[in-house]
Structures are given as structure tokens and as C-alpha cells.
């Protein structure tokens, strides 16, 4: 391991957090495979299947900013504990309903919505804790190492999920995800996540938006960033909304093949990490993002044209190369905006709200387009849009 990249793991409290988050993310990817697999057995409608991705994203759009503001008031530990416990019980209820053969489209969508609420409430506080665990000079590396962990689980989790579906059934996959929350629950219970520095000095002082922060948040520069994030995630959401339909129903993949699709996406992401020092360099942000958009667009094109399992794997691999770069660089760009503000979790909430607004609106839009035409047309259309953004970004970075 390169110490320059993995250095944050030498910090004991960050290492404990990373391990617990790794286990939780592993369970999340197992459930993603299981829930989309179950939904394709409950319904073959492209719109209904895409609603699963929509339900996961919608709460983030609505709740991220309020959740971030609450976290900035000094309630991070309470929010994190309540949200993690809520997701634990939601996943356990999914396992129970499948075991009792009582799961319906509505109950799956409803419990997915509750999981989305838990994620929305957790994430702004979670993101601010992530960088509070390390010194300022190591924060960028801490974010990168965290995302590297996510992409390792993106390889392992879906493959494990496919194996559990094949050998034991979806109820075991849901149960495993439920148990995966216990590590973070224990971490946040034992380690008191302190409020931000200002709140430490004046615990009773209420933190409010200042006029300068409003102007800063909605400055022309920031609005351009929010717009780019929204448009990119709108096109990118087509993959997450339509790969279950494309793989399970149209190509008839078995549970192991289906589970391995997200594994290949994670494998592509891990390949990007090998060159992370060059890709994430501050002077190459625009060209790196351009390359990420084009790579992801190529993945969408291959998925739209795929005639079998091998082509789907290639599509997910190229999409994975682009996904980790665009997600990480957008996250880091948004974090740079929080430097001058004491409302760090709120600022991250704005980023998450914009990111998932594109994901949720895109998911329902591409699902509707696939319903009136075909999944191939929807994916190829999204590929054209994503590739155009990449070429436009590259042109601007070189002129």
C-alpha cells in the first residue's frame, strides 16, 4: 500500500470508523442486489422497477439540508444513532416479510423509502464526521480512502449477494444487511461524536445562517457547480434505474451473473484508484471529470447494445471507471466550499440534495422513457447526453 494514499488508516479512530463503514457498505450492496432482484420478480414494468431507485433517492433530496442543519446544531451523534437503528429495523423487516412470503411491490417500495430516509438523515453528519476524524491535511486522503473502501465492497458485496440469492434466498441477504449496521451503531454509541468547534465553545449558542453564507451558497460559481452535478447525475441515473430490467428480465441472467454486474462496476472503480494520484490532482480536475463522463457514457452505450452477460460486464466496468472519479471529485469540490463556513454538514447536505435530485428525477424519467420505447433507447440516449457533457468539459479545459 502507498502510505501517501492509505495514511489515514494509521489513525486508530479513523481505522475503526472505516472498518465499521466497510461492513455496513458491504451489507448495503448485498441488499441492493437482493431488492432489485426481488422487484423484477414482483413486476416487469420498467417504470415500477425504476421506482426502486427513485424511492432510495427521493428522501435525500428532501431531507439532506434539514438533516445537515440539525447536525450543525450539535446533534450529530443522536442523528447518526437513530438513523442507523432505523435502517437496521427496516432491513430486518424486509427479511421477515420475504421469509413469510408476504412482500409486495408496495411494501418493498415503502421500506426502501424508509431506508432512504435513514440514509438522508445520516449522510450529512456522516460526511462531516468522516473528515473530523483526521487532521486537516489528511482530509482529502480520508475521503479518497473511504471511497476506495466503498468500491472494494462494490466488488465483493454484489458477488456475495448473488451467491446468497442463489444458495439461500433474498431473506438471508436482507438479514445480512440488517446485521451490518451493528458496527456503526456500536461505534457511534461508544465514541461521542462531538459537535463542531464553535458549538464546543458555546454549546448554548444557536447556529444560524448568515447573509454572507446565503450569498456564498448561491453565488454564480457555486450555482454552476450545482447545475453540473444535477445534469451529470440525471444522465448517470439511467444505469442504476435500468440495469435490473436489462440484466434480469431482458437478458435473463441468473442470480450469480446478476450479482456480479455491480461487482464489475466496482472493479472498474478500483482500477481508477490505481491512478488516483494523477487523476485527483487539483490541476487536472476538469480533464479528469471529462474523461469520467466519457467513460461512463461508453458504459451506458455498451449496456444499451449488450446482447449477453459478457457485454453487460464490460458496460459496468467502463461505467465504474467513470463513476468513482466523478463522484469523488464532485464530493471533494463541494467540500472545498465548506472551508469558510461553520455550517459544514449543511453545506454537504446541499451537495447531497442536488446530487440525488438528479438521481431521483433521472431514474423516474429514464424508467418512463424505457416504458414507452425500450431500455436500449433510454440507455443510448443517456449515453449521448453523458458523452456530450464529457466532450464539452474537455473542450473547456483545453481552451
Query: What are the pLDDT digits (tens) for 361-385?
Result: 999 999 999 999 999 999 999 999 9
Query: Within 13 Å of residue 290, how many CA atoms lie on the same side as its CB?
Result: 12
More confident residue, 46 or 384: 384
Q: How far apart are CA 292 and CA 280, in angstroms?
A: 12
pLDDT of 204 > 50? The answer is: no
pTM of the model: 0.79
Contacts of residue 188, Cβ cutoff 8 Å, sequence gap at least 6 = 77, 80, 81, 84
Question: What residue segments make up the domains of the chain, in order of their start?
Answer: 3-191+210-398
* 3-191+210-398 topology per CATH: Growth Hormone; Chain: A; (1.20.1250)
Q: How many CB atoms lie within 10 A of CB 336?
A: 11
With pLDDT > 70 as the criterion, what percentage of the chain qualifies? 85
User: What was the pLDDT predicted at 281?
Assistant: 60
The residue among 282, 276, 326, 7 whose CA lies nearest residue 137 is 7
Q: How far apart are CA 201 and CA 206, in angstroms?
A: 12
More confident residue, 374 or 135: 374
Q: What is the pLDDT of residues 341-365, one digit of tens each?
A: 566 777 778 888 888 899 999 999 9
User: What was the pLDDT predicted at 367?
Assistant: 92
The set of cell numbers assigned to 115 is 431506508
With pLDDT > 90 as the criterion, what percentage of the chain qualifies? 38
Query: In b/e form, how buried is each residue of 192-214, taking b as 16+ CB within 10 angstroms?
Result: ebebbeebeeeeeeebeeeeebe
Amino acid at each position: 500500500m502507498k502510505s501517501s494514499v492509505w495514511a489515514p488508516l494509521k489513525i486508530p479512530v479513523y481505522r475503526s470508523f472505516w472498518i465499521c463503514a466497510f461492513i455496513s457498505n458491504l451489507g448495503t450492496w448485498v441488499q441492493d442486489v437482493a431488492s432489485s432482484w426481488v422487484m423484477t420478480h414482483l413486476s416487469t414494468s420498467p417504470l415500477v422497477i425504476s421506482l426502486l431507485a427513485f424511492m432510495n433517492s427521493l428522501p435525500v433530496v428532501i431531507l439532506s439540508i434539514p438533516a445537515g442543519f440539525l447536525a450543525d446544531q450539535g446533534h450529530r451523534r443522536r442523528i447518526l444513532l437513530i438513523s442507523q437503528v432505523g435502517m437496521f429495523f427496516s432491513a430486518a423487516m424486509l427479511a421477515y416479510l420475504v421469509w413469510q412470503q408476504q412482500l409486495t411491490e408496495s411494501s418493498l417500495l415503502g421500506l426502501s423509502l424508509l431506508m432512504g430516509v435513514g440514509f438522508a438523515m445520516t449522510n450529512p453528519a456522516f460526511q462531516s464526521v468522516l473528515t473530523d476524524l483526521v487532521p486537516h491535511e489528511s482530509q482529502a486522503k480520508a475521503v479518497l480512502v473511504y471511497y476506495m473502501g466503498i468500491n472494494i465492497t462494490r466488488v465483493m458485496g454484489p458477488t456475495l449477494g448473488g451467491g446468497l440469492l442463489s444458495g439461500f434466498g433474498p431473506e438471508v441477504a436482507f438479514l445480512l444487511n440488517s446485521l451490518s449496521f451493528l458496527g456503526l451503531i456500536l461505534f457511534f454509541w461508544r465514541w461521542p461524536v462531538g459537535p463542531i468547534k464553535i458549538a464546543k465553545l458555546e454549546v448554548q449558542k444557536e447556529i444560524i445562517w448568515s447573509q454572507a453564507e446565503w450569498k456564498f451558497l448561491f453565488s454564480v460559481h457555486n450555482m454552476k457547480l450545482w447545475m453540473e452535478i444535477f445534469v451529470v447525475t440525471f444522465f448517470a441515473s439511467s444505469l442504476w434505474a435500468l440495469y435490473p430490467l436489462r440484466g434480469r428480465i431482458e437478458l435473463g441472467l441468473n442470480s450469480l451473473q446478476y450479482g456480479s454486474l455491480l461487482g464489475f462496476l466496482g472493479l472498474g472503480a478500483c482500477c481508477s484508484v490505481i491512478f488516483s494520484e494523477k487523476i485527483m490532482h487539483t490541476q487536472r480536475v476538469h480533464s479528469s471529470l471529462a474523461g469520467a463522463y466519457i467513460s461512463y457514457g461508453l458504459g451506458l452505450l455498451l449496456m444499451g447494445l449488450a446482447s449477453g452477460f459478457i457485454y453487460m460486464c464490460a458496460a459496468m466496468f467502463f461505467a465504474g471507471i467513470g463513476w468513482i472519479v466523478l463522484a469523488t471529485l464532485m464530493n471533494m469540490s463541494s467540500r472545498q466550499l465548506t472551508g469558510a463556513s461553520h455550517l459544514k454538514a449543511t453545506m454537504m447536505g446541499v451537495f447531497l440534495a442536488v446530487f440525488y435530485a438528479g438521481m431521483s428525477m433521472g431514474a423516474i424519467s429514464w424508467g418512463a422513457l424505457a416504458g414507452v420505447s425500450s431500455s436500449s433507447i433510454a440507455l443510448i440516449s443517456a449515453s449521448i447526453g453523458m458523452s456530450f457533457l464529457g466532450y464539452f468539459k474537455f473542450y473547456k479545459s483545453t481552451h
